[in-house]
Amino acid sequence: MRIGLGYDVHALVATRPLILAGVTVPWDRGLDGHSDADVVAHAVADALLGAARAGDIGQLFPDSDPAYAGADSLKLLSQVAGHVRERGFDIHDVDVVIVAQAPKLSPYRDEMRANLASAMGIDPEQVGLKATTTEGLGALGRSEGIAASAAVLLEERCNC
């Protein structure tokens, strides 16, 4: 078994849609970034890469590369999941925490789980997802950005 941890933060701006785990959440602000800035997909991808000891998404998809401008991060997550499988690992379990003061994300939880599971080729029951606030504390509490962290469990396939 291998465990992986991923974390990401993006700033909120008025000029972009808010995309979290592939869901466009209705709000007056969205996350800034080179890709679609889907902080959840990025955290999960980094957790997978960490568990597989395969670097990070900044190495795989550099933000200096125009190919990834506006990229659908669920597609990048699919590529990462494929990469991890090619290295001999099965994805067993994923758990995600989104830290956002607003908007309320619980109505989108199951759609987000389904999107992440589909991108990784696993069952939604293998994906946990919850959202929390910082009780108004700090930059995240002032809604200057949204953060996500993810933990994954991989199992190395046996060659016996």
Which residues bind to Mg ion, rule: CB under 5 A? 8, 42
75 or 92: CB nearest Mg ion: 75
Number of residue whose CB is nearest Mg ion: 42
Question: Is-contact 73 38, C-beta < 8 A?
Answer: yes
Would you give the distance in Å from CA 28 to the centre of its chain? 21
Question: Is-contact 97 132, C-beta < 8 A?
Answer: yes
Provide the minimum distance between the beta carbon of 34 and Mg ion in the complex, in angstroms, as a whole number: 8
1 or 69: CB nearest Mg ion: 69
Question: Is-contact 49 57, C-beta < 8 A?
Answer: yes
Provide the minimum distance between the beta carbon of 123 and Mg ion in the complex, in angstroms, as a whole number: 25
Provide the minimum distance between the beta carbon of 12 and Mg ion in the complex, in angstroms, as a whole number: 13
66 or 159: CB nearest Mg ion: 66
Provide the minimum distance between the beta carbon of 90 and Mg ion in the complex, in angstroms, as a whole number: 25
CA-CA distance, 116 to 69, in Å (whole number)? 21
At 27 the three-state DSSP class reads: coil
81 or 110: CB nearest Mg ion: 81
160, exposed or middle or buried, with CB in 10 Å at 0-12, 13-18, 19+?
Answer: exposed
